Amino acid sequence: MLTIKTEIAALLHAEHMHTVEALQDLEEFLANQTARRVPDARTGEVRGILSGLIATVAAEVGRHFGFEEDHLFPMLLEKGEGGIATFLTEEHAAILPLAQGLAGRAAKAMADGGFTAESWTSFHAQGMELCEREISHIQKEEMGLLAAIAMYIDADADRNLAALYQKLMDAA
């Protein structure tokens, strides 16, 4: 990504940056906590991290991926540029269940008052995996997808896509 020339690319880029920040907070928390030390899910810091995972990461990822697959990728496909759509969809299929599963576990831990040693070890491993997969995925979208948008999405389609995505974000 060198320059952002379309409205929809600017929106997606801004959301990428927001997601990266949330993921890095999660990653730093998991790294400091280690897989062995079960956190106290009643403290404000831990609840903030877990809420962030549910509200920001899982929700954003779900909306972002859904929008790309339902609205953006079909347009690229029409232009004969299906390769990038297929590639990124394969990665979405690996990331989305991971993000949603973790969000579910985080919600359960907050409701139950915490993690067990076993559930924390598993949560820790999958949390680290999510951070790594999603940040790497964002790097690929920044380099490939935003450039593809600049090349293949015309001004009218750009305006429509941006309006639609803005509406989805406002509704969240």
Binding site for other proteins (CB under 8 A): 1-4, 16-17, 20-21, 24, 28, 76, 79-87, 90-91, 93-94, 129, 132-133, 135-136, 138-140, 142-144, 147-148, 151-152
Nearer to other proteins, 4 or 41 (CB): 4
| Residue at token pair 């995505």 | 165
- The identity of residue 131, as a single letter, is C
Contact in structure between 99 and 65 (CB atoms under 8 Å): no
Nearer to other proteins, 143 or 172 (CB): 143
In the complex, minimum distance from the CB of residue 2 to other proteins, in angstroms, rounded to a whole number: 6
In the complex, minimum distance from the CB of residue 139 to other proteins, in angstroms, rounded to a whole number: 6
Nearer to other proteins, 109 or 161 (CB): 161
In the complex, minimum distance from the CB of residue 51 to other proteins, in angstroms, rounded to a whole number: 21
In the complex, minimum distance from the CB of residue 167 to other proteins, in angstroms, rounded to a whole number: 26
- Residues with Cβ < 8 Å from 133, sequence gap 6 or more? 91, 94, 95, 98
Nearer to other proteins, 20 or 157 (CB): 20
- Residues with Cβ < 8 Å from 151, sequence gap 6 or more? none
69: how many CB neighbours lie within 10 A of its CB? 16
168: how many CB neighbours lie within 10 A of its CB? 15
For residues 6 and 61, what is the distance between their CA atoms, to the nearest angstrom? 21
In the complex, minimum distance from the CB of residue 84 to other proteins, in angstroms, rounded to a whole number: 4
For residues 145 and 153, what is the distance between their CA atoms, to the nearest angstrom? 11
Nearer to other proteins, 60 or 109 (CB): 60
For residues 34 and 5, what is the distance between their CA atoms, to the nearest angstrom? 42
